[in-house]
Structure 1
Amino acid sequence: MILEASKLSLKIALISTLITIILSFILALFISKGNRKRDKLIEGFISFPLFFPPSVLGYILLILLGKNGILGRILAIYGIEIIFTWKAGVIACVLVSLPMAYQCIKAGFLEIDREHIEAAFEMGATKLEMCRYVFFPLIRKNIGAGVVLSFGRSFGEFGATLMIAGNIPGKTQTIPMAIYYAVERGDNHSANILLIIVTCISFTVMWCYNHYWLNNNPKQRDRS
């Protein structure tokens, strides 16, 4: 149970973090050049999960992706099952971590000097080359901070994942769920081992976050 829950938690956290960062980069790039009213509407949807308890968000996903849901019926046509699979956990983690990653990357875009962009365009750079040689190097620390925050949020996700993925040992049971149900069963030995694993990973995530924050914040770096 311990090994399976740990492997599944890392799998879901890594996949959801990759998806979250890609979406955040695309959204931040798109919104930074768009119409203000449209931007506010899109950002409202992105920030939506921040104002909902995870269990409520999970219930909404359950309604949408369930067999009788709008999206669930469409997926069923193609034989795709989401509910009560590890894929559902990935979807839940992406939604709850997207607002934080997006804000990190958006802050990086806002700090980019327009002269860099104009110079790249004058030199004939394509959009792909702009992303590779201008945007990525200039906001790499923001992306790094977004990765750390997304991974940490996804790794500790419980409420939304429980609602949409369930708690199936070896299939959808992540470390937070395993700890909860181990304590509920009185299995303190397993809960303590999982606690040690979570503590080690959490401290690693915190260190990475502080590292990126200190390197990306001159004032904070001077104080240290």
Structure 2
Amino acid sequence: MTTERRQADGRVGLPLWIYLPASVGCLLVVLPLVAMGAKVDWGSFVQLVTSESAVAALKLSLRTAVASTVLCVILGVPMAIVFARSNVRGLSVVRSLILLPLVLPPVVGGIALLYTFGRQGLLGEHLEMMGIRIAFSTTAVVLAQTFVALPFLVVSLEGALRTAGQRYEAVAATLGARPTTVLRRVTLPLVLPGLVSGAVLAFARALGEFGATLTFAGSLEGVTRTLPLEIYLQRESDPDAAVALSLVLVVVAIVIVVAVRRRSSGAL
């Protein structure tokens, strides 16, 4: 009997060989996390993660990640809908540019933001004349996180929109529903799980952002020093604190992703 024959529940069995690369892939991700957990100094764990700088960095990371996720939803949902539903000429070029942060090194993104919103930047020079400073501020952290996280939401939601198709929207339109009504009552509810998944990916990416934030916002305690930056600084001076804070970041990310994924699955 082969493992590829149809099972009793109607599903097709998997070939045995596929479990080998799958197991190696799982180990590649899980084993480093286990190794990090084994290095934690549990005797002083609470003291390490509740220091003033650590708490300030965690609070800032959560605040800015939430803010950037909201921005990603506000800007990314319309973008994904346009990419999935519009036939405007040249849209594929725009889409390619929007998705560039997925492959660009974050430091490059930080430099691009700096030359846009910095004191001598394309827009920053004019904003500076009006007394508005963005670079090396908390706002810069949010912009850096949004820059790198936005494509994750766009890709996730665009894929959901293309998979869902347009048949239900077409039916609603033939019944006299206006485009805005179709979007609000049909399209968005239909792809809500994809939107939730995209928002989770964007939040997780924003929470772990390092390179663009350091380049564009700097590392000012309580202002721009997020938890990844605090971990990087502690790595040289206090390795035990760096490992403990890394574990905190992993746990926070896991809790949020699992909680939202369960809620998303329940909605299905």
Counterpart AA for 1:109: L
Distance 1:130 1:28 in 2: 16
Distance 1:125 1:36 in 2: 23
Count of residues in correspondence between the two structures? 216
Q: Which moved more, 1:203-212 or 1:138-147?
A: 203-212
Which residue of structure 1 lines up, in the alignment, with residue 213 of structure 2? 161
2:223 pairs with 149, 158, 171, which one?
A: 171
Is 2:119–2:133's contact at 8 Å kept on the other side of the alignment?
A: no
Distance 2:200 2:254 in 1: 12
Offset of 1:64 from its aligned partner? Answer: 1.6
Q: Does 1:180 align with 2:225?
A: no
Could you tell me the percent identity over the aligned residues? 31
Instruction: Calculate the TM-score normalised by the size of structure 2.
Output: 0.74
The superposition leaves residues 35-62 of structure 1 with CA deviations (integer Å, 9 ceiling, x where unpaired) of 3642211111111112211111111111
1:34-183 correspondence runs (5 A): 34-35=86-87, 37-183=89-235
Counterpart AA for 1:137: P
Is 2:72–2:149's contact at 8 Å kept on the other side of the alignment?
A: yes
Counterpart AA for 2:117: L
Is 1:149–1:209's contact at 8 Å kept on the other side of the alignment?
A: no
The superposition leaves residues 68-127 of structure 1 with CA deviations (integer Å, 9 ceiling, x where unpaired) of 111112222332211001111111111111111111100111123422112222333233
Which residue of structure 1 lines up, in the alignment, with residue 241 of structure 2? 190
Q: Looking at both structures, which has the greater relative contact order when contacts are Cα pairs under 8 Å and sequence separation is at least 6? A: 1
Counterpart AA for 1:194: L
1:204 pairs with 234, 237, 255, which one?
A: 255
Counterpart AA for 2:68: S
State the SS of the aligned residue for 1:111: helix
Q: Does 1:17 align with 2:108?
A: no
Task: Rate the CA distance shift 1:62–1:27 in 2: closer, same or farther, 3 A.
Answer: same
Question: 4+ residue stretches of structure 1 with deviation over 3 A?
Answer: 208-217
State the SS of the aligned residue for 2:99: helix
Structure 2 stretches of 5 or more lacking a match? 1-52
Offset of 1:196 from its aligned partner? Answer: 3.0
Distance 2:227 2:179 in 1: 41
Task: Rate the CA distance shift 1:109–1:157 in 2: closer, same or farther, 3 A.
Answer: same
Offset of 1:160 from its aligned partner? Answer: 0.4
**Larger Rg belongs to:** 2
The structure in which a higher percent of residues are helix is 1
Is 2:196–2:264's contact at 8 Å kept on the other side of the alignment?
A: no
Is 2:234–2:241's contact at 8 Å kept on the other side of the alignment?
A: yes
Q: Which moved more, 1:154-163 or 1:91-100?
A: 91-100
